A = this chain, B = another copy of it.
Amino acid sequence: MKIGELSARTGVSIRSLRYYEEQGLLTPVREANGYRTYSPYAEEQVRTIQLYLQLGLSTEQISGFLTCVLQHPETFCREVLPVYEQKLREIEEQIEQLGRIKTNLQDRIRYFGANPKDAQEG
């Protein structure tokens, strides 16, 4: 199938499909006229890419294990686990940082309730 059809089937923009190729995540064959042709498996492949992107992984990280997970269950590809673990650490750190900011904001908001309402302009 051509890029327009793959885009329609997956909901991923043509621009992004070309970007994934540039990043080594997709390798369509080229017809004599230069058009990209994708195998039917590309559709699942694109959905897989999207899934990992939604987990916050970069195209570079995804490229490290995509070939394997397309052929095996995720848990069989040993490149995957360390990426997940690192990402998990990053996420936890971000959550902590956001939690600190949240508490700080909540404290500040609380003070508004505890103080006179004669607020000043600008």
Contacts and interface: CB of A to CB of B under 8 A. Distances in A.
A114 B108 CA distance: 46
B74 A108 contact: yes
Contacts of A68: 120-122
A30 to B, nearest CB: 24
B72 A88 contact: no
B78 A106 contact: no
Q: How many copies are assembled?
A: 2
A10 interface: no
A88 to B, nearest CB: 5
Contacts of A85: 109
A72 B120 contact: yes
Given A78-B119, A118-B76, A121-B68, A94 B98 contact: yes
B91 A55 contact: no
Interface in A76-105: 76-81, 84-85, 87-88, 91-92, 94-95, 98-99, 101-102, 104-105
Interface of A: 54-56, 65, 67-68, 71-81, 84-85, 87-88, 91-92, 94-95, 98-99, 101-102, 104-106, 108-109, 111-112, 114-116, 118-122
